[in-house]
Structure 1
Amino acid sequence: MTIDEACVACIINQSAKVADAINASTSLKDEMISTIQEMSSNFSYEDNPPEIASYVYEKMAEIANKTDLYDEVKELSTKKALSFVPLVNDKIFASSNKLLTATKTAVAGNVIDLAAAVEFDLEEELSKVFHTEFAHDDFELMKYQLTKAKSVLIIGDNVGEHIFDYIFIQTLKELYPDASYSYMVRGNPIINDVTMKEAKEAGFDELCELVDSGVNTPGFTYNRANDYSKKLFDSVDLVISKGMGNYECMSPSHRKNICFLLKVKCEVVAKSLGKNVGDIVCKVV
């Protein structure tokens, strides 16, 4: 997906959100917003939104003199998500369709997105997601792919959401124990995306293979990935992609057997999928 005019406006608005999140002074906030507005005149419409975001967030981090703009917010997101783990585990344990329940839990976690134009409440999402149908429903196809797969790569998205990804992978390992599993994270802090730091703190390195993609974009941009990540992406039987940023980066992709799990949080992605903002999606390509 390449950007359109709506993406430009959204990205400019994000500069104000970042300034507020880090409690920037009025002068610093004005500098951040004006700098991004100036940058926006040179955005390339051949880039996808996560590629544009990488330039923007790197510049904002430089202006704010802060390596990880959302470090404190990410810690809070993780604590919030962890508070729901007992509830989610009980739901999955009691479920007659553990894979579906774990999958919907993973999608519900996708609402923790600090770059989204629309904000959602995690508690509300978890209360209703188990009774919500996928607007694009390739769940049975994903399930079929899992029965055949010997290697599965899950590409993570946001911090907090990664806690539910952990539970999702636990369930996959229980249901399909003969497959190998890998979890891929971003190469450095970008928005509130999950990196090696948060993934290791959550214990992914003991759950499955944990992979640093090397990308500096809030989505898996193949041509920015390190050699190992490219090889893994190309060679696994099934890729399960979490969130809008990964969808934007991998639509289209040179490979097949990618399952996109996400909640639609902006009109541009909604139009691409032919769905509505607020819909949940399980789409296999």
Structure 2
Amino acid sequence: MRTYLDCIPCFVKQALGAARQVTDDEVLIERVMKRVCLAASELSMTESSPVMGQKIHRIIREETGCGDPYAEIKKLSNEMAMRMVDGAKAEIEAAKQVGNEVSGFEVAVRYAIAGNSMDFAIYLEWDEKRLNDSLAVLREKVIDKQAVADLWEAIGKAEKILVLADNAGEIVFDRLLMETLPAKVLPRITYAVKGSAVINDALREDADEVGVSDLVTVIDNGTDAPGTVLEQCSDEFMKAYHEADVVISKGQANYETLRASCEMTCSLSNGSLRKKRISHEPASDCFTGHMTRNDATCSSGCDREVYFLLQVKCPIIGKYVDQGKEVGDWVVQRYRP
């Protein structure tokens, strides 16, 4: 997804909130904001908004000298989520007893989406009530149950599964989701966190802290961008991404970046090679006009199936998910290009 004019006020709000996480020095904050506004003025609107988020948080880290402004929030998020594990496990097991394995899996998916409320790119202050409110409506939220069933079936058949993490705290519920799967599946799972600090996105130390590293293989994607900007990701990550039979993507930023415009190298009828940037709009394909799947390859990974799990927190995003969603809706989407 490209950046929209509506995104620009959010960039400014996010930058101001993040700077105030670190310092109350108004002179320093003013310097941060001037640099952010300049960067926003130079941003290509064809890029996804998390690319601007990456620039914002690099500026904040450079100006303040704080390598991880959200470290304390991430710690609080992990601790809060861990306190809820026993209750969540009991509810998942109860669903299995009343229904079947898929019923328990659906409840675990719902917990994983509830955890996506722990997003400090959108919500700028610590508030335990936000997660509690999400958990309170966990069974009421409408989700695509067919997509849940499809995901369960796909996982059962997959030799390699890649899960793209989003936020600290939220990853506790991702762990619960993975624990719901048959034990034989766990060695097939790779869990990808960020390469270095950005907002409250999960890092390797968060995966270690909440026990994900004890359960499945953990890698990082080699970047400090929110979401998954594939052209920036490490070779290790890209190998896992392309080899995975199933990719599960958590959160809104991953949705934005994986549905972003892609670079294609197209072999045309005259044999020449040309690069063309094509924007991914709803239900669009990379391949248009004279180009076919046989004569084009997409380096940004848009030409693959991805299961997206997220809460809609932005009306622009809502327009692109499942033929239109409202802010606050929950999404399980099987995306097929």
Q: TM-score, normalised by structure 1?
A: 0.94
Q: 1:184 aligns to what?
A: 192
Say which one has the larger Rg.
2
1:241 and 1:129 map into 2 onto residues whose CA distance is 19
1:87 and 1:117 map into 2 onto residues whose CA distance is 25
- In structure 2, relative to structure 1, the CA distance for the partners of 1:178 and 1:195 (3 Å cut) is closer
1:27 and 1:112 map into 2 onto residues whose CA distance is 30
Q: After the TM superposition, which segments of 4 or more aligned residues of structure 1 sit over 3 Å from their partners?
A: 117-120, 176-179
1:26-175 superposed matches below 5 A: 26-96=26-96, 97-116=103-122, 121-134=130-143, 138-174=147-183
- Answering whether residue 325 of structure 2 is matched by residue 275 of structure 1, we say yes
Kept in 2, the 8 Å contact 1:118–1:265? The answer is no
2:245 and 2:233 map into 1 onto residues whose CA distance is 19
Q: 2:203 aligns to what?
A: 195
Q: 1:261 aligns to what?
A: 309
Which amino acid is 2:231 matched to? N
Kept in 2, the 8 Å contact 1:136–1:280? The answer is no
Write out per-residue CA displacement over residues 194-248 of structure 1, whole angstroms, 9 at most, x where no aligned residue: 0111112222222111011102211111111111110110011100000001001
1:19-30 superposed matches below 5 A: 19-30=19-30
Write out per-residue CA displacement over residues 54-106 of structure 1, whole angstroms, 9 at most, x where no aligned residue: 11100111111100111111111111111211211111121131100100000
Identical counterparts, % of pairs? 28
Comparing 120-129 with 208-217, greater Cα deviation is found at 120-129
Structure 1 gap ranges (5+): none
Count how many residue pairs are aligned between Structure 1 and Structure 2.
Answer: 284
RMSD: 1.9
Kept in 2, the 8 Å contact 1:137–1:282? The answer is no
2:83 and 2:38 map into 1 onto residues whose CA distance is 41
Structure 2 gap ranges (5+): 97-102, 260-279, 281-300
1:140 and 1:203 map into 2 onto residues whose CA distance is 27
Which amino acid is 1:101 matched to? V
Q: Could you say what secondary structure the match of 1:247 adopts?
A: helix
Q: TM-score, normalised by structure 2?
A: 0.80
Shift of 1:23: 4.1
Which protein has greater RCO, CA pairs closer than 8 Å, 6+ apart?
1
Which amino acid is 2:175 matched to? Y
Q: Could you say what secondary structure the match of 2:185 adopts?
A: coil
Q: 1:226 aligns to what?
A: 234
1:28 and 1:262 map into 2 onto residues whose CA distance is 35
Higher helix share: 1
Q: 1:246 aligns to what?
A: 254
2:57 and 2:167 map into 1 onto residues whose CA distance is 15
